[in-house]
Structure 1
């Protein structure tokens, strides 16, 4: 499964690097930042880099807490970008309105509280439960709630775009993004899976990221092709 993680990291890094020229021109800097954050988050999910970064932070799994908040930031920025790409104003309002931001603040506060109540644990990329399984379970489930929440908000708009988008490339992008968000929403059932299904959980996590990244890349390519056609017409 480490190979899939490195593939996801490499794709996110390449997508961030190719956006540097346009970002330097002041165009769509959000996307470069988003891909860069995704690359960092995936790197923190890989054993070697995680242990090295966590050691620099004190060796008490602060890197895992950093990873959680990176994921919250990524899911919000990603969801807003997708909502704008498909003119889903109601979804954007839900994400950035009182209920959406309130949900983010509540999940963030709960994440910090449950991390502290777990007690200090030896640095580990998997963040073992230690002696406090209850707060470990709360911490783990909160890390899935907000990303799943954004997926539930966006899915109706993506399914409409899958049927009705004017450009074939946008329909493909909508399908890829819908698959990614559906898989992301399904991660809330992880606690119901047997403990030895670690590989299945990792496959769902990385596959959802790959779907989302390729969906975003397809939107970018569609926009690039549309601009080129407009310039030559």
Structure 2
């Protein structure tokens, strides 16, 4: 079941990325392409076979996991910015790209690098489970490392969540309200990832469901926004959309 969810998410992200190539070529709304592309790479690195292959090329020291964390940071940053701008969320923008957001990103990134350097990361394993099992010291370092990796995405999602909930309950067109609801669900799922350390091992599969639910909600939420805008443009008369003489 987990593998089906992983590969389904990868296919959805890749399809969304490919759908944005024409606009990328036309230099139009390029941020969506970058968001989907980063999500695709992040999903690929979270699947066992691709992860082991890529980390093997990088030295079998789980550098691929560190790379994955920063790819997620980039994806969530651009995602948060795109959503905040799209829904006119001024406060969300300030929290993400303002001084507070810069400080949070800088401190968390530094913590990730330090924790990774301190642990014995030898031996590729998805989620660094083999590193976790080495000894008590590495177990604690992996837990702190994982917490740091989840902290920044949760910060960004909390910054934009209020605006998404307001938009979902507003009088916006139905498609935009559904989009806002999906994005809000994705944000809540990412925030719930902070609780991963208290989830019993027997329920460990919930971490996969939460993570991939978040990604799918973000992908479909953004695609709905794009679709709603495209439909709105088609409803505008040609003489209004194009200035006279063009």
Q: Is 1:143 paired with 2:144? A: no
Task: From 163, 179, 191, give the equivalent of 1:157.
Answer: 163
Shift of 1:198: 1.9
Normalised to the residue count of structure 2, the TM-score between the two structures is 0.92
Unpaired stretches in structure 1, ≥5 consecutive residues: none
What is the aligned length? 233
Q: Distance in 1 between matches of 2:31 and 2:147?
A: 28
Correspondence for 2:105: 104
| Partner Cα distance (1:169, 1:180) in 2 | 17
**Which secondary structure state, in structure 2, belongs to the residue aligned with residue 107 of structure 1?**
helix
SS in 2 for 1:104: helix
Which consecutive segments of 4 or more residues in structure 1 shift more than 3 A?
A: none
State the SS of the aligned residue for 1:219: helix
Cα RMSD for the two superposed structures: 1.1
Distance (whole Å) between structure 2 residues aligned to residue 113 and residue 85 of structure 1: 36
Specify whether residues 138 and 80 from structure 1 end up closer, same or farther in structure 2 by C-alpha distance, changes over 3 A only. Answer: same
Specify the SS of the correspondent of 2:158: helix
Q: Of 224, 236, 239, which aligns to 1:230?
A: 236
TM-score, with length taken from structure 1: 0.97
Partner of residue 32, structure 1: 33
Gaps of 5+ in 2: 241-246
Matched, 1:194 2:195: no
Instruction: Tell me how far apart the structure 1 counterparts of residues 113 and 237 of structure 2 sit (CA, whole Å).
Output: 50
Which residue of structure 2 lines up, in the alignment, with residue 134 of structure 1?
A: 140
Q: How does 1:53-64 map to 2 (within 5 A)?
A: 53-64=54-65
1:68-98 CA-partner distances (Å, limit 9, x unpaired): 0001111111000010110111111110001
Corresponding position: 1:88 with 2:89: yes
Q: Secondary structure at the match of 1:59?
A: coil
- Per-residue CA distance 1:138-157 (angstroms, 9 max, x = gap): 00111111111111111110
Instruction: Provide Cα deviations, 1:108-142, integer angstroms capped at 9, x if missing partner.
Output: 01001111111232101120212221111100111
